Amino acid sequence: MQEAELRQKLLPLGIADLRAFDVIGSTNDEALDWAATGAADASLVIADSQIRGRGRLGRHWVTNPGAALAFSLILQPTPQEIAHLALFSPLAGLGVSLALEKIGLSPQIKWPNDVLLNRKKVCGILAEAAWLGNNLQGVVIGIGINIAPAAVPPADQLLFPATCVEEALGSPTDRLEILSATIEAILHWRSLLSSKQFVHAWQERLAFRGEWVRVENTGGTAITGQVIGITSDGNLQLRTPSGEEAQVTVGDVHLRPAEEPNQEGGGD
């Protein structure tokens, strides 16, 4: 990736510093190391391809050269933001969605943060915190966006169906424009993180509203319900089959339509 071009485009948007790589293990690993050694707020790590890209729940994330966006934004949360750390990954989901809307697409956010186009996953987000004892050294928001068809893994390797921006658009696109628009939106909406507007903007794009879904947690238990919306804390509100309301907490769970297959891969 051309670091000079990236600097020219991204520093005016509020990126403090950046490291760009053609090939890297994982941009999140590099960003966590950088955060631990004093990265400034809004520093960015970006790579054209990753050989050890990581997804949620220990999954592998594939990033093929020239076909995707893979980047990690380091944020140094203010004391007020620390109270809302769980909202940083939906913030990224909203930022990516707004960037895709700018090029004429209609993304939806699968709670808490996967971005979908035509009900298929186009973007995954892995937010991680770097702690030294009780000291937060930074939050790393890793974002992977499938741009071209070569970014989308074979269907039999996927837990959730995947797509890419160009498939939805029906034409080639400039990934640096999507990168710039995403960063601009994240840095703008960051200042509104604890506001009603933020939850409203997230909820407006919420996938599967009114539909029956199954939310699983890492312990293997699951809850089935009809999606109602998102609470002011960022929890998912469901109506259970007995008609009661249930809330699912950010971070412990993930959402799938009831009839999905059971593997996940590199769009995830």
Which residues does 186 contact at the CB level (< 8 Å), separation at least 6?
73, 91, 92, 94, 95, 141
Residues 102-141 that bind ligand BTN (CB under 6 A): 114, 124-126
**d(Cα 213, Cα 111) in Å, to the nearest integer?**
11
Show the site string, 56-75: x = touches ligand BTN by CB under 6 A, - = not. x--x-x-x------xxx---
**d(Cα 49, Cα 71) in Å, to the nearest integer?**
10
15, 53, 186, 190: residue in contact with ligand BTN (rule CB under 6 A): 53
List, in sequence order, every residue forming a beta bridge with 32; answer none if it has no partner: none
Minimum Å gap between C-beta 35 and ligand BTN is 14
144, 153, 225, 265: residue in contact with ligand BTN (rule CB under 6 A): 144
**d(Cα 145, Cα 67) in Å, to the nearest integer?**
9
Does residue 55 touch ligand BTN according to CB under 6 A? yes
Minimum Å gap between C-beta 196 and ligand BTN is 27
Task: State which residue, 72 or 163, has the beta carbon closest to ligand BTN.
Answer: 72
Task: State which residue, 216 or 228, has the beta carbon closest to ligand BTN.
Answer: 216
Q: How far apart are the first and last CA of the chain?
A: 23
Minimum Å gap between C-beta 267 and ligand BTN is 8
Show the site string, 193-232: x = touches ligand BTN by CB under 6 A, - = not. ----------------------------------------
Minimum Å gap between C-beta 53 and ligand BTN is 4
Q: Which stretch binds ligand BTN (CB under 6 A): 3-11, 73-81, 142-150, 163-171?
A: 142-150
Q: Which stretch binds ligand BTN (CB under 6 A): 21-29, 83-91, 98-106, 130-138?
A: 21-29
Locus of tokens 């993304």: 107
Lookup: tokens for 89: 């990954």
Minimum Å gap between C-beta 79 and ligand BTN is 27
Does residue 239 touch ligand BTN according to CB under 6 A? no
List, in sequence order, every residue forming a beta bridge with 202; answer none if it has no partner: none
Q: What is the 3-state secondary structure (H, E, C) of 35-96?
A: HHCCCCCCEEEEEEEECCCECHHHCECCECCCCEEEEEEEECCCHHHHCCHHHHHHHHHHHH
Does residue 28 touch ligand BTN according to CB under 6 A? yes
Lookup: tokens for 81: 């933001």
CA 193 to chain CA centroid, Å, is: 15
Residues 155-174 that bind ligand BTN (CB under 6 A): none
Task: State which residue, 61 or 189, has the beta carbon closest to ligand BTN.
Answer: 61
189 touches 96 (CB < 8 A): no
How many residues contact ligand BTN, by CB under 6 A? Answer: 22
Cβ burial, residue 188 (10 Å; 0-12/13-18/19+):
middle
- Which residues of this chain interact with ligand BTN, rule CB under 6 A? 26-28, 50, 53-56, 59, 61, 63, 70-72, 114, 124-126, 142-144, 268
